[in-house]
Amino acid sequence: MNFKKKILCIGAGYVGGPSMAMIAFKCPDYRVTVVDVNSERIDAWNSPQLPFYEPGLEDIIKKRRGKNLFFSTDIENQIRENDIIFVCVNTPTKNYGAGAHMAADLQYWEKTARQILKHSRSSKIVIEKCTLPVKTALAMEKILSSSRGKIKFEVLSNPEFMAEGSAINDLENPDRVLIGSHETKSGLKARTELTEIYQRWIPSSKIITSNIWSSELSKLVANAFLAQRVSSINSISALCEKTDADISEVARAVGTDDRIGRKFLNAGIGFGGSCFKKDILNLVYLCRHYGLDEVAAYWESVVKINEYQQQRFIAAMLHSMFHTLAGKRICILGFAFKADTSDTRESPAIYITQKLLSEKAELVISDPRALKNAAADLSGAEGNVQFIEDPYEAARGCHALVVLTDWSLYRMLDYKKIYRSMTKPAFIFDGRNIVDREKCFAIGFNVYAIGKPALTHL
Ligand code: NAD
Ligand code: UGA
């Protein structure tokens, strides 16, 4: 078949896979290929068992794979064959050398730029889809123009705003698509080419354009603002616990103001996921680099409150369970960093379970999708840990239930049945405020939630 456009994505991860699947789904006359250095990942994309769980993803992969959507490890040939290249490799926090634990580690991104330069035989549009520090496109352009040949590369910034767990809906109906380009003739031509792809299913009014630097920075800022809302409501949850105010009532009262808005005001054990913390730290690093220490300190406090929230949660458990967890059996309900994903990267559950193990608690971990990743995350941890998917089985004989992920399943459990099978006095620590507190208290549980008065029989 003669395809109208040939698109390549380098990086077959949580963003590269779903975002390219959506392009292939909406544009059956385009050929979309996704490549990765990780052959196990590519094998998974080509198998019935996709590399991770994302609602709705399997359906669109099945519809387009082998028709106009391909997954491959042949990076060199694919660079040669495609005209439009999205770069969607990982950009984790650097854990070595200058900027360690703050700056973005750009080694994967730079390696990709060099691969593109080495293997290209014709001019190409190169699109940054991964999240990068502002001004990275400049470095990419310097690398790509270093051979001074006839081949020209136009670099665009097109950050991705999808969230895991709702990725397919976010990609299909985004609030906006952002395209940053140079305002030169070739920059505007490349921008039009990329706009044409998105216009296949997204109204033009939602396709925003800007200069490249604004586009790169907007992605970091959007994540920082979202994380800031979570830390803001979590900071107030601590005050609620001291004053008998209820954080859900406060969030409702505050969020019904249109100027503030209702979303992202759920108090809990803090944000996890691979991006919020890394992107804020990246922003903080950039501010310090430019001598903006006050601005850096402001954004750094968002991460500090997130850590404080998790420390508070552990301290409250220890205090309520008579100052010792040693030998107590504790059932962890949920290990994923949020509901509807198998992803556990930077999940608050990692820190909390490690702390519980250091208190010599015995843990039974339950999660409908993330147990494989949970086992990998805790593989080096010392102590007694079991992994049991069935929550009823997991809770049997336990002293406490600890809800760490907002899976809707945990709203609907038969807590009466669970209570009967547990050691008494039985406790619930609801780190996501999803359990019906009054009902569980009436059953006999001692119930502790975030930013709400404790309901206890003790
Ligand atoms: P990921 O780790 O799941 O995927 C990145 C993939 O890139 C990996 O499979 C890795 O093997 C591959 N890779 C690395 N170097 C390569 C190379 N030289 N050639 C080929 N493949 C290579 O990461 P992700 O979660 O998909 O995130 C990717 C980027 O998108 C990050 O910058 C992230 O900040 C951003 N982002 C992520 C999300 C999200 O929800 N996860 C949302 C928006 C933006
Ligand atoms: C987030 C952003 O929402 C996306 O727009 C962005 O593209 C993405 O990061 C990224 O750059 O990686 P994601 O991390 O997948 O998406 O999920 P969110 O829904 O934002 O949740 C992040 C964390 O905040 C989760 O741990 C969640 O439980 C927590 N959260 C969220 C709260 O504790 N309270 C809330 O009210 C909302």
| Residue 387 CB less than 6 A away from ligand 2 | no
The protein residue with its alpha carbon nearest to ligand 1, atom 20, reads: 36
Please state at what angle helix 212-243 crosses helix 293-320, rounded to 10 degrees: 40
Last residue of a domain, one of 183, 202, 221: 202
* Section 153-174 average pLDDT: 98
Range of the domain at 164: 5-202
Distance 262 CA to ligand 1 centre (A): 30
Residue 440 carries which side chain, given as an amino acid letter?
Answer: C
Tokens representing residue 418 in the block: 């669970």
* Whether pLDDT at 308 is above 80: yes
Total structural domains in the chain? 2
Residue 369 and residue 221 in one domain: yes
Residues 218 and 147 in one domain: no
Given the structure tokens 């310090």, which residue do they identify?
A: 288
Ligand closest in space to the Cα of 104: 1
Are 423 and 398 spatial neighbours (Cβ–Cβ below 8 Å)?
Answer: yes
- Please tell me whether residues 118 and 229 are part of one structural domain: no
CB of 37 within 6 A of ligand 1: the answer is yes
85 Cα to the center of ligand 1, angstroms: 14
Predicted confidence at residue 432, as pLDDT, reads 98
Angle at 19 between CA 22 and CA 282, to 5 degrees: 160
CA-to-CA distance for 344 and 272, rounded, in angstroms?
A: 8
Q: Is 13 in the pocket of ligand 2 (CB under 6 A)?
A: no
**Atom 2, ligand 2: residue with shortest CA distance:** 163
Please tell me which residue in 27, 88, 240, 275 is annotated as part of the active site. Answer: 275
Q: 286-304: per-residue pLDDT in tens?
A: 999 999 999 999 999 999 9
Q: What is the CATH number of the domain that holds 59?
A: 3.40.50.720
442 in the same domain as 334:
yes
Of 134 and 173, the one with more pLDDT: 173
The residues near 336 (Cβ < 8 Å, ≥ 6 apart) are 342, 343, 344, 347, 349, 367, 369, 370, 373, 405, 407
Per-residue pLDDT at 146: 87
Q: Are residues 164 and 227 in the same domain?
A: no
Domain termination residue (choose one: 176, 202, 228): 202
The whole-number pLDDT of residue 268 equals 98
- Quote the CA–CA distance of 176 and 170 in Å, as a whole number: 10
What is the share, in percent, of the chain residues with pLDDT greater than 70? Answer: 100
Q: Are residue 130 and residue 83 in the same domain, yes or no?
A: yes
Q: Which domain-ending residue is among 178, 202, 226?
A: 202
Residue located nearest, by CA, to atom 11 of ligand 2: 275
pLDDT band at 278 (very low <50, low <70, confident <90, very high): very high
From the CA of 72, which ligand is nearest?
1
Same domain for 363 and 216, yes or no, is: yes
pLDDT in tens, 168-205: 999 999 999 999 999 999 999 999 999 999 999 999 99
CA 177, 180, 126: angle at the middle one, nearest 5? 100
Residue 160 CA, closest ligand 2 atom number = 7
Considering only CA atoms, which residue is closest to atom 16 of ligand 2?
A: 163
- Atom 17 of ligand 2 has which residue's CA nearest to it? 163
Q: How far apart are CA 55 and CA 53, in angstroms?
A: 7
Cα(143)–Cα(89) distance, integer angstroms: 17
Dist. CA 384 → ligand 2 center (Å): 31
120 plus 240 within the same structural domain: no
Ligand 2 pocket, residue 224 CB under 6 Å: no
Reading the block at residue 81, the tokens are 């064959």
Does the pLDDT of residue 153 top 70, yes or no? yes
Q: Which pLDDT score is estimated for 148? A: 67
275 is catalytic: yes
